[in-house]
Structure 1
Amino acid sequence: YWDGQIIKGPDGKFHMFASRWDEAAGHNGWFGSVAVHAVSDKLTGPYEDKGLCWPNDQGGKGHNVTALTMPDGRYAIIISETRDCTVYVSKSLDGPWETLGKITVEGEPKWHGSNVSIMVRPDGNFEFTQREGRIYFSDKGILGPYKVQGQSVYPRGIPNLEDPCIWYSGRLYHITVNSWSTRKAYHLTSTDGIHDWVNRGVAYDPREAVIRYPDGTVNRWNKLERPSVYMEKGHVVAITLAAIDVEKDQEKGHDGHGSKVLVIPFDGAALDRDLKKTTADAPEQ
């Protein structure tokens, strides 16, 4: 399993949208991944795989799976990387999922999309970022066309940044983005979601005691990638991470090292409170 975005349904259940592929293929089997729906009675799981989201569309093919609730109340699943960035919609988290269309970018007719992370802004418009770190904005709906808002917002000097996750909380826009070669992720913030992104430092490092159980047990992984956030009452209460305990090219299939999606409780209200204080204490420029 890989990716992982959670939405709580009106039934009180937690619905996760992720990708998976044949474990026998090893990690490189992700090129043939499919988008799946899983359900749990608890936020932290366990989740039961309910199967493909769109079994009759290219056999369910989908990667970089993410999802959101649209302003009109419908649900949307967005995929990218192995296919053009495509949006599927449904009135129910259980489906059926219908193709809404492909996301378009103004002035870039061949735009494809990779690692797309998308959000509904407080004003009801849509914003996303992707692997290269540019910000895209649309006031014409989820499909766009989107307008590129300048160059990459990623901090300079950090190599191989990918897998951004974008959200809004505590009156700030946030991005976490992972440097796959250094295995560290970084946290960026902006007051308007477009300009003046500030690097707040390391968000997480799998070599540190990031995942700690109440009894003190520390769970360590080689790589933690594809971050997503689950929010309640305007704050992050959990993050999901795709995890693997060996280097990707060492996962050959049927070897006990298959990747997994982790759901980790997180005190986002405390983060927002601390950032509010830090921002208030910062000297005027």
Structure 2
Amino acid sequence: MNNVMSYKQSLLCLLILISVPISSFSQIDFAKALPKKFDKSNIIQDEDYNIWGTNILKGKDGKFHAIYSRWLKSRGHHGWVTHSEVAHAISDSLTGPYKFKNLVLPPRGKKYWDADCTHNPHVIEHEDKYYLYHMGNRGSGYWKTTPDDRMPTMKDDEWWVNRNNQRIGVAVAKKLNGKWKRSCKPLIDIDSTRKMVSTPVVSKRPDGTFLMVYKYVEEKEGKYGGKVVHVTALSDSPLGPFKDTRIPFIETEASTFALDDHVEWFQDEQYYCIGKDHDGSLTSYDKGTMVLYTSDEKGLDWSLAKQPLVLKAGKLEWTNGTETLCERTADMPKLYFEDATPKALVIAVLPKDSEHSFSLVIPFNEY
């Protein structure tokens, strides 16, 4: 009798295990995946340009291709919204060094919506083509009359002209070394409720559709606008049209700007999101900490992961025993993938009391 009960109990336990989704057991623990200290030789930087928001993909040529934002260091950190351009560099190694090759999305004619600035690129590969989603804007032309050492700041009314003209677009190429065809019109535009839109991240869902997560600023009188809101949108094609789900994405009622820079991807039967707890309202960590969220395969219902900490804010510790205090410790997270599995985290860093930023490649430990 006891043997029969034992067999039935074992069978019941097996059935329970089979019925539990794999994702219940397989959430990534970044405390194990990331090293405690980082290698300075893995920094991507430029003598003359700030570097930000770096995507790395391995091309069919076997080279590693970096697609990133850059703008003159002499324009200062806040020059990102007035002078950024999307560039392309190549390396024989994932961690570099990377050599600049060409501009991917340079400034173009005043008639275009992204005439003055392209920024925050996010690149995906689909059916032998590459899709580069990005922010673009067009100012009044004022900044073209200023010298290269004139630093734009948030105190300048003209800075806000560019900021509030941010829109979302997409460019397409058959090769990473090839020519990118840019969209003549924004992929995501504003409406009467939105002052600007920006920071697109697109991923392919397991059902074959495409999920976009992006942010907008609520329309409100004044140059700043209202609350910063992140939302999701869906499309059957990487070229859109993307239809808003109207489902808010990771927010808290206690904050007008809870989440910032983020990246989403599907792995091990679930969605992941690394995002920045912008003001410390999402978690108990310090503001600016990178944290992990998860969702089911739809990517529409998100909750804080079991092991939410990705990267603490405040400083970076290096393998040579030194450290860098940071104003922005880990912005614009991107992931390098091999065989649909993330192998490295790439972050943008702004040191404390500095106007000069760089990217850092962080290869994962085994996890």
Residue of 118, 122, 126 corresponding to 1:66: 122
Q: 1:73 to 1:240 in 2, by over 3 A?
A: same
Mind listing any 5+ residue stretches in structure 2 that lack a counterpart?
Answer: 1-50, 110-114, 138-165, 216-228, 280-286
* Residues 185, 204 of structure 1: 8 Å contact kept: yes
Tell me which residue corresponds to 1:47: 98
Measured after TM superposition, the shift of residue 110 of structure 1 is 7.3
Aligned twin of 2:333 = 227
TM-score (norm 2): 0.63
CA RMSD of aligned residues (A): 2.8
Please tell me whether the aligned partners of residues 80 and 112 of structure 1 are also in contact (alpha carbons under 8 angstroms).
no
Cα deviation, residue 95, structure 1: 1.9
2:182 paired with 1:99: yes
User: Using the alignment, how far apart are the partners of 1:172 and 1:228 within structure 2?
Assistant: 18
Distance 1:162 1:103, change over 3 A: same
Report 1:1-285 matches (<5 A): 1-31=51-81, 32-55=83-106, 57-58=108-109, 61-70=117-126, 72-80=127-135, 82=137, 83-100=166-183, 102-104=186-188, 113-131=197-215, 132-139=229-236, 141-156=237-252, 157=254, 159-181=257-279, 182-200=287-305, 201-207=308-314, 213=319, 220-223=325-328, 224-246=330-352, 250-251=353-354, 257-267=355-365, 270=367
- The TM-score with structure 1 as length reference comes to 0.80
Offset at 1:108? 8.3
Q: Alignment partner of 2:96: what SS?
A: coil
Deviation string 1:213-263 (CA, Å, 9 cap, x unpaired) is: 3x66655533120111111122210111110111xxx54xxxxx5100111
Deviations 1:85-106 (A, max 9, x none): 1111111101211124532489
Post-superposition CA distance 1:172-230 (Å, at most 9, x none):
11111113331112211111233431112332213366x653x6665553312011111
How far does the alpha carbon of each residue in 1:86-135 deviate from its partner, in whole angstroms, 9 at most, with x for none? Answer: 11111110121112453248998979531111112233321110133212
**Mean Cα deviation higher: 6-15 or 76-85:** 76-85
Say if 2:117 and 2:136, in contact at 8 Å, map to a contact too.
Answer: no
Cα distance in 1 for residues equivalent to 2:104 and 2:193:
27
SS in 2 for 1:29: helix
Q: Are 1:104 and 1:143, in contact at CA under 8 Å, matched by a contact in 2?
A: no
Distance 1:109 1:180, change over 3 A: closer
Displacement of 1:167: 0.8
For the Cα contact (< 8 Å) 2:86–2:106, is it kept in 1?
no
Q: Which structure ranks higher in relative contact order (CA pairs < 8 Å, sequence separation ≥ 6)?
A: 2
Checking the alignment, whether the CA contact within 8 Å between 2:169 and 2:188 is kept in structure 1 is no
State how many pairs are aligned: 257
Q: Distance in 2 between matches of 1:128 and 1:90?
A: 19
Q: Given residue 135 of structure 1, which amino acid in structure 2 is its aligned partner?
A: T
- Whichever residue aligns with residue 93 of structure 2, its letter is K
Question: Would the alpha carbon gap of residues 168 and 29 (structure 1) be closer, same or farther in structure 2, given more than 3 Å must change?
Answer: same
Q: Which has the larger radius of gyration?
A: 2
Contact 2:84 2:117 (C-alpha < 8 Å) held by counterparts: yes
Counterparts in 2 of 1:105 and 1:81: CA distance versus 1, 3 Å: closer
Partners in 2 of 1:236 and 1:185 — Cα distance? 16
| Distance (Å, rounded) in 2 between the aligned partners of 1:47 and 1:111 | 37
Question: Using the alignment, how far apart are the partners of 1:90 and 1:208 within structure 2?
Answer: 37
Stretches of structure 1 lacking an aligned partner (at least 5 in a row): 252-256, 271-285
In structure 2, relative to structure 1, the CA distance for the partners of 1:99 and 1:81 (3 Å cut) is: closer
